[in-house]
Chains A and B, each alone.
Chain A
Amino acid sequence: MAKKITQKTKNAMPNQDAQRRAHNFEEVAMGYPVDLAVLEAQRCIQCKNNPCVAGCPVEIDIPKFLLQVGERDFEGAYKTLMERNVLPAVCGRVCPQEEQCEVKCTLGVKFEPVAIGRVERFVADYGALMKFTDDTPPAPPTGHKVAVVGSGPAGLTVAADLAKMGHGVTIFEALHKAGGVLVYGIPEFRLPKSIVEHEIDGLKKLGVEIKTSHVIGQTFTVDELFTELGFEAVFIATGAGLPTFPKIPGINLIGVYSANEYLTRSNLMKAYQFPISDTPTIRGKNVAVIGGGNTAMDAVRTALRLGAENAYLVYRRTRAEMPARHEEIEHAEEEGVKIMMLAAPTAILADERSRVRGMQCIRMELGEPDASGRRSPVPQKGSEFELEVDTVVFAIGQGANPLIRNTTPDLPVNKWGNILADDATGATQKSGVFAGGDIVTGGATVISAMGAGRKAARAIDQYLRNPSVDGYSPTDV
């Protein structure tokens, strides 16, 4: 039976003061204190239909963990979360809940939805602090071996699920730290790396083996994983690891970065701590980040923290079309990011030492909708202007890294290089090979990658028990 409504608005998340946090890399959202988490969880009216669950790509039993938090059974809530989500502290921080669970919340029809993400984060952090464990006994070992390529959200999820089913899983990660975009892409102030490390340790406790500095496509090919290392199935989760640069003059000047490089230097290599950390980065005084998604937000807020006096976000459409999470845009504005809409660069200008000294831009107006359904930007003749900047970061989308497809010729890909995989199972057209996450869909979210990992784990489990049944059925990709 549905409970009474206790509060119409969400309990506010305590955030670091905007002016202070714009100059440090500590977490912006500080997390609910216990009593606030309990109050927020009690807002859930335990409605009959629980449409929130269908909105969650990893099918968390949301009403159950909210009920448990409301009753102060934090350990119970933690176990409920961990049943379906191996990275709850990550999801609680980076999921776009406003598009997933919270948008479906019954309370949200007339009032503000329950802040499901904030409570999830509280439970995950509390559980880590109190060292709660997931006591589910592991299934008996099946003797089957699966290789996972990539240790980002899709790879971690498929590995955890398969390990819980009793299979032997090895993750091969090209970089020297596991986590993929969770460690190199999302900044410390949104997702502390110690938290990612802690959640990955949870996977190791399940028996998952992680081999870092192993570049599949170079160190071993996909075929060699089968023929030389004896794996019976392979899940490819290499992500959207190819930077996009526009074809305009000046993109190779000193001070021009792809978002991947800018963020990898700062997040993975901790260049913001240079010279304690050996990897440098350019601490631009006037930085322009081109793009409107979460990656662009991460890059421009990083620029502020690296000491930029002016951090511009240059986006060719308007705020309404920006794919970034609402919270990131709000936080960015509070911190002093200057959002320039309806503008795009046409050339990057050099000084005498081949360093960026400015950027030529043109104003846009919105025309007819394009394939994504958003109105297309159209340059306005004669509206050129120059922006004085010393650093430019392109966060305009990611392509598919070619290493796997170049060394696996019988693995069909689409014209953009994304692997063709069945939507429901992740099965590709190569026998025994499954794929999920950004390498299939193009740049998307952490949680959608996790959802793909979840579906693929079930399919891989079935495949291992019955290898003659191929999971691939052609769908419109």
Chain B
Amino acid sequence: MNRILAKDILAPDVVRFWIEGPHIARKRKPGQFVIIRTTEEGERIPLTIADVDKSRGAISIIVQGVGKSTRQLNNLNVGDALLDVAGPLGKATEIHPNSRVCCIGGGIGTAVVYPIACGAKALHGEVVAIVGGRTKDFVILEQELRAVVDQVIVTTDDGSAGTKGLVTDALKALLAEGRTFDEVVAVGPLPMMKAVVAVTKPLGIKTTVSLNPVMVDGTGMCGGCRVSVDGDQKFVCVDGPEFDGHLVDFDELGARLRAYKEQEEESLRLYNERVACRAVVTS
């Protein structure tokens, strides 16, 4: 159970895994996530289910190696099993049929936006995807999106692929040329989602974001993932992970994401030392 069926590298430190999980695959809807543990001492971490293969009983996740847990996970290979996988968690994306949607993915956020774009297309929507990355190496799922949506615009900070600039520049350009959307979906680093909201809020364009707080149980039991949405307390694991971007308190969420920064750095440092030692011993 929970064996890795396939693994491919999408970008530096960004790995896509297909994992066996028939009871999760059969139920999964776009927007939902799983909570994973790799080892007995491991933390519980949330990861969006990027795609599903119901006939094979498998789900895919896309993992950016940032800290110890994600790097350790990315070092696993086909045939290895994850210790625990729980899901599908969270509420499914609310997809309205026949919608004109602009899906914006920043970096690893594109992994979250991809299933939503697929969902919108499945309900006969018209979907434009804006995919941004720091350089061309960090733009992921471009071909997968081109196969599904109506138009894909790529942006890179350094201009190494697509248009030079930010995803918000591309969004503003589309709006300037008179394009209209029923909804904008934006997922990526907090500053990016905040920047998209700054563009859409004055124009009153419905904007959905997907949030990534620290989580522990993922079932609404601990409150660790709480966010303020329009002044109300919501739990991202059961009320989300998607919320109305115009109502989210991004600053508060940004602060809470830094709660364990020192411990995370220590954990990663120790892990890197161990990996380096092992490399020396086995070389």
Residues of chain B lying within 8 A (CB to CB) of residue A428: none
B-side contacts of A273, CB under 8 Å = 41
Residues of the A chain whose Cβ atoms lie less than 8 Å from the Cβ of B8: none
Instruction: Report the bound CA distance from A282 to B43 in whole Å.
Output: 15
Please, which residues of chain A bring their CB within 8 A of the CB of B86?
Answer: 174-176, 213-215, 219
Q: Does B42 have its Cβ within 8 Å of any Cβ on chain A?
A: yes
- Complexed CA–CA distance, A273 and B42 (Å): 12
8 Å CB contacts to A: which residues of B1-58?
A: 23-24, 27, 35, 37, 39, 41-44
**What are 27 of the A-B contact pairs (CB < 8 Å)?**
A176-B83, A176-B86, A212-B84, A215-B218, A218-B87, A220-B27, A252-B226, A252-B233, A252-B252, A254-B255, A257-B223, A260-B222, A261-B216, A261-B222, A261-B223, A264-B222, A265-B216, A269-B44, A274-B267, A278-B267, A279-B44, A280-B267, A354-B258, A402-B238, A403-B219, A403-B220, A403-B238
Given A218-B89, A260-B223, A264-B222, answer yes or no on A254-B258 (Cβ-Cβ < 8 Å): yes
The tally of CB-CB contacts under 8 A between chains A and B is 119
Q: How many B residues touch A, CB cutoff 8 Å?
A: 44
Query: Nearest chain B CB to A109's CB is how many angstroms away?
Result: 43
A151 interfacial by beta-carbon distance below 8 Å: no
Q: Which residue of B lies closest to A278 (CB)?
A: B43
The residue that A241 contacts in the complex, of B27, B43, B221, B233, with Cβ under 8 A, is B221
Does A245 have its Cβ within 8 Å of any Cβ on chain B? yes
Interface residues on A, range: 35 or more
| Complex: A237 Cα to B233 Cα, angstroms | 26
- Taken residue by residue from 144 to 166, chain A's Cβ proximity to chain B (1 for < 8 Å, 0 otherwise) reads as 00000000000000000000000
Q: Return chain B residues, CB-CB under 8 Å to A354.
A: 252, 255-256, 258
* Residues in chain A within 8 A of chain B (CB atoms): 174-176, 212-215, 218-220, 241-243, 245, 251-255, 257-258, 260-261, 264-265, 269-270, 273-280, 282, 353-354, 401-403
Contacts of B252 in A (CB 8 A): 252, 354
Residues of A contacting B217 in the complex (Cβ-Cβ under 8 angstroms): 174-175, 264
Find out whether the CB atom of A269 lies under 8 angstroms from the CB atom of B43: yes
**Bound Cα distance A280, B259 (Å):** 10
Interface pairs A-B: 3 shortest CB-CB: A280-B263, A354-B255, A261-B222
Q: A residues within 8 A CB of B89?
A: 215, 218
The minimal Cβ–Cβ distance linking B67 to chain A, given in whole angstroms, is 9
Smallest CB separation, A185 vs chain B (Å): 10
Contact yes or no, A218 B27, CB < 8 A: yes
Residue contact A214 to B23, C-beta cutoff 8 Å: yes
Q: Are A219 and B259 in contact (CB under 8 A)?
A: no
B259-A176 in contact (CB<8A) = no
Whether A241 pairs with B220 at a CB distance below 8 angstroms is yes
Contacts of B270 in A (CB 8 A): 275
Question: 13 more A-B contacts (CB under 8 A) besides A174-B86, A269-B44, A274-B267?
Answer: A213-B85, A214-B23, A219-B87, A220-B27, A241-B220, A243-B223, A245-B223, A245-B233, A252-B226, A269-B216, A275-B267, A278-B39, A403-B238
The verdict on B94 contacting chain A, using a C-beta distance below 8 Å, is no
| Beta-carbon contact of B221 and A280 below 8 Å | no
Select the residue from B27, B43, B266 with max chain A CB neighbours within 10 A: B43
Q: How far is the CA of A241 from the CA of B219 in the complex (A)?
A: 9
CB pair B41–A277 under 8 Å, yes or no, is yes
User: What residues on A are CB-neighbors of B84 within 8 Å?
Assistant: 176, 212-213
Q: Does B69 contact A (CB under 8 A)?
A: yes
Known contacts A219-B23, A220-B27, A278-B267; A353/B219 CB under 8 A: no
- A172–chain B nearest beta-carbon distance, Å: 11
**Smallest CB-CB separation from B260: which chain A residue?**
A280
B88 within 8 A of A: yes
A98 to B136, CA, bound (A): 68
User: Which residues 220-268 of B have a CB within 8 angstroms of A?
Assistant: 220-224, 226-228, 233, 238, 252, 255-256, 258-260, 263-264, 266-267
| Contact B259–A254 (Cβ < 8 Å) | yes
- For residue B221, which residues in chain A have a CB less than 8 angstroms away from its CB? 241-243, 260, 264, 401
Tell me the complex Cα distance, A174–B219, Å. Answer: 8
Q: How close is A170's CB to chain B, nearest CB, in angstroms?
A: 13
Contact mask for chain B residues 79-117; partner A; CB cutoff 8 A; 1 contact, 0 none: 000011111110000000000000000000000000000
Determine the distance from Cα of A278 to Cα of B44 in the docked complex, in whole angstroms: 9
Nearest CB of B to A17, in Å: 30
A264 engages B216 (CB within 8 Å): yes
Q: Which of A218, A260, A278, A403 has the most CB of B within 10 A?
A: A278
Select the residue from B86, B218, B223 with max chain A CB neighbours within 10 A.
B223
Chain A residues whose C-beta falls within 8 Å of the C-beta of B255 in the assembled complex = 253-254, 353-354
Residues of chain B from 136 to 180 with CB closer than 8 A to chain A in the complex: none
Task: Knowing A215-B86, A219-B24 are in contact, say whether A254-B256 is a contact too (CB < 8 A).
Answer: yes
With both beta carbons as reference points, the residue of chain B lying nearest to A240 in the complex is identified as: B221
Tell me if B219 and A280 are in contact (CB < 8 A). Answer: no
- Shortest Cβ gap from B273 to chain A (Å): 11
Q: What A residues does B220 contact at CB under 8 A?
A: 241-242, 401-403
Indicate whether B194 reaches chain A with its CB closer than 8 angstroms.
Answer: no
Q: Does B121 contact A (CB under 8 A)?
A: no
Chain A residue with minimal CB distance to B32?
A218
Q: Name the CB-closest residue of B to A280.
A: B263
Contact indicator A278/B224 (Cβ below 8 Å) = no
Partner of A278, one of B35, B68, B218, B238: B68
Determine the distance from Cα of A426 to Cα of B256 in the docked complex, in whole angstroms: 41
Distance (Å) between the CB of B255 and the closest chain A CB? 4
In the complex, what's the smallest C-beta–C-beta distance from A468 to chain B, in angstroms? Answer: 32
Per the bound structure, the CA–CA distance linking A280 and B233 in Å amounts to: 24
Instruction: Point out the residues of chain B lying under 8 angstroms from A174, CB to CB.
Output: 86, 217, 219
Most buried by A among B27, B219, B260: B219
Q: Residues of B contacting A254 with CB < 8 Å? A: 255-256, 258-259
Contact present for B258 and A274 (CB under 8 Å): no
Q: Is the CB of B87 within 8 A of A276?
A: no
A57 to B238: give the CA distance in the assembly, Å. 34
A280 to B218, CA, bound (A): 16
